[in-house]
A and B are shown apart, each in its own frame.
Chain A
Amino acid sequence: MNKPLIEINELGKVFHRDTVEIRALDGIDLSIHAGEFVCLMGPSGSGKSTLLNIIAGIDYATEGEAVVLDTDLSSLNEDGQATWRNQHVGFVFQHFNLIPVLTAFENVELPLLLTSLSRKERREHVETALRVVRLTDRMEHYPRQLSGGQEQRVAIARAIVTDPTFILADEPTGDLDAESAREVLEVLSTLNSEFGKTIIMVTHDPRAAEFASVTYHLDKGLLTKTVLNGSHS
């Protein structure tokens, strides 16, 4: 196997709240390769979101290193991180986080405003992304006019519209009913299998984990178990 996309060595994270130190992550070693569908599981407070945020470049490690796409994330400043995120990361949040005053189309277009694409090119990209999540007919709708599942699919379209290297999702089905959750997971799965997107997803839901190729279990900041899903390579 070639060089991993994400290499995490001896990674630790300590939060300081007032005088108390909270250890969120402790000595994590992890490699994630291109094309993997990774699932992070573990009890509440085990550090899943913290790890995801560090990989995403919105938080930083206090020990060890996280090298993503050959970039040591601790070497980037705020603005550097922002640009890096825009270029390489697609985000999917538990609460969808669509901008309520923007239509589905405009929400998906948002990250493209940071690129040098022309208006016409942006439109094409947005339409393609919305086609992937099968929502081209809802382009002009505002988030409040969409169901939860549709909102999350718009969010996924927004995450993939810049054609990022990987997609990070923190409990993407946490706010959804079973049916909508399945739709969202199927879209993610398609992105992984057909478009070769690397996906890292935090979830509590064992059924969600079934879509992944590998599942890492965290407990109290430690990596405790790795499960390879037989159906994937």
Chain B
Amino acid sequence: MKIPIKYNIRSILIRRVGSAMTAVGIGLTVAVVVVMMAMVNGLDRTFTETGDDQNLVVLREGSLNEVNSYFTRDAFETVRFLPGVMRDEENEPLAVGELIVVITHPRKDGKESNVMVRGTSETGFRLRPEMKMVEGRKFRDGLREMIVSQALAKRFENFNVGDTIKINRVDWKIVGSFESDGGAYESELWGGYQDVAQVWQRPIFSSILVRAESLEDAQAFIKRIEDDDRIQLNAVSQRDYYAEQTVSSIGLKALAVFIAVLMGIGSCFAIMNMMYGMVMGRQPEIATMRALGFRRRSTRASFLFESAVLALSGGVIGCALGSLFNGYSAGTSNFSSFSEVLFNFQVTPLIIALGLSFALVMGILGGILPARRAAWIRLIDVLKE
């Protein structure tokens, strides 16, 4: 660039109000897009970040979801002693049979929503190292205690540690709250298997989670379950299971793209308008520089750069605004389990980079025509004035 950058920067700064308004306008557009991307990302992450390839989820044949899967306790005994299942220090298989029930509970906003309750045991925690208690303690089976994710506690009534809630005509005490790295378990209540099976009168399992000795053993295990005629079950890796559960974010993504394009076009015009004003108001300066020997393409590059800087500063504002929503938690319905799924908006470095690039693209697109106009001013006409 032949024309010094300080020329552009100061020209932007000196037109304080106009530049600020343009930048804030672009900033709002970028902020909306950043927030939408954070939302989509958070939703996607909830399921894709849950699971381990060496852990396997066993369901009834034909079921895709724990909620509508069930099988007998015998099947559990068969499965846990299959070869390839990792053993603990006491030579017990690392396998846990779990029961899932869905309850309806009032949200803090007054509406009711479905929530999944997982009846499990200590092995359930062992197989899910991402489960971390943040308050209180774990439940004890037989005492009708439950623990609840922090995200749910924020969103639902009476889910605080110490609260007692009536579910299925029985009182349960909330004794602890947990986190699981923003994963799918953060949409669940956990209690003891025996308690859940007894209160709901279902002496069955919905699913079994087992840990294979190795990835190869995991594959062999899946095959073996499929081939075993004694049990009508299926096994999938825990990661694949949750990938299947993903609440489709395609609608949201389409909406995000639609809004980005629409607002982007609007912002392009805002930048174009500002930059046309810049060019028209600075014709004598442009003509002077041309007279001094600066070429057309330097002039064009200079104004394009200026437009990009203006847009980028808007991008920075937008990313800052958008980042305020980082961690914001929201809920949506999961249509495969008919229960509420919680997710956190996630602003990642990639999203920030995309937000800034989006601003840059708007700056360049909006700047092209004004920059061209700057390059084509007629020297003799302008210098005469």
Contacts and interface: CB of A to CB of B under 8 A. Distances in A.
A137 interface: no
Contact of A101 (B10, B290, B292): B10
A153 interface: no
Interface string A90-105: 0101010101111000
A97 B290 contact: no
A85 interface: yes
Interface stretch (A53-61, A125-133, A179-187, A212-220): A53-61
B302 to A, nearest CB: 12
Nearest to B385: A95
B2 A58 contact: no
B374 to A, nearest CB: 14
A99 B285 contact: yes
B87 to A, nearest CB: 73
B288 A93 contact: yes
B7 A99 contact: yes
B293 A86 contact: yes
Contacts of A97: 284-285, 287-288, 291, 383
B17 interface: no
B126 interface: no
A82 B7 contact: no
A113 B383 contact: no
A83 B293 contact: yes
A58 B291 contact: yes
Contacts of B289: 99, 110
B317 to A, nearest CB: 23
Contact of A102 (B7, B291, B295): B7
B4 interface: yes
B201 to A, nearest CB: 80
A82 B295 contact: yes
Given A82-B295, A99-B288, A101-B14, A58 B379 contact: yes
Which has the most chain B C-beta neighbours within 10 Å: A56, A87, A114? A114
A102 B384 contact: no
A111 B379 CA distance: 17
Interface residues of A, number: 27
Contacts of B285: 97, 99-100
B296 interface: yes
Interface string A11-23: 0000000000000
B166 interface: no
Nearest to A83: B293
Interface residues of B, number: 24
A106 interface: yes
A85 B289 CA distance: 11
Contact of A49 (B10, B14, B294, B384): B384
A108 to B, nearest CB: 11
Given A59-B380, A95-B284, A110-B292, A101 B2 contact: no
Interface in B246-300: 284-285, 287-296
A78 interface: yes
A158 interface: yes
A194 interface: no
A58 B293 contact: no
B291 A85 contact: yes
A177 interface: no
Contacts of A79: 295-296
A80 to B, nearest CB: 10
A143 B4 CA distance: 17
Interface string B133-175: 0000000000000000000000000000000000000000000
B230 interface: no
Nearest to B12: A101
A86 B292 contact: yes
Contacts of A110: 4, 289, 292
Interface of A: 49, 53, 56, 58-59, 78-79, 82-83, 85-87, 91, 93, 95, 97, 99-102, 106, 110-111, 113-114, 158, 170
8 smallest beta-carbon distances between A and B, as pairs: A86-B293, A101-B10, A97-B288, A111-B292, A58-B379, A82-B295, A85-B293, A82-B293
19 contacts: A49-B384, A56-B291, A58-B379, A59-B379, A78-B296, A82-B290, A82-B294, A86-B293, A95-B284, A97-B288, A99-B288, A100-B14, A100-B285, A101-B6, A101-B14, A110-B292, A111-B292, A111-B293, A113-B4
Given A79-B296, A95-B284, A106-B4, 5 more contacts: A91-B288, A97-B285, A97-B291, A101-B7, A114-B293
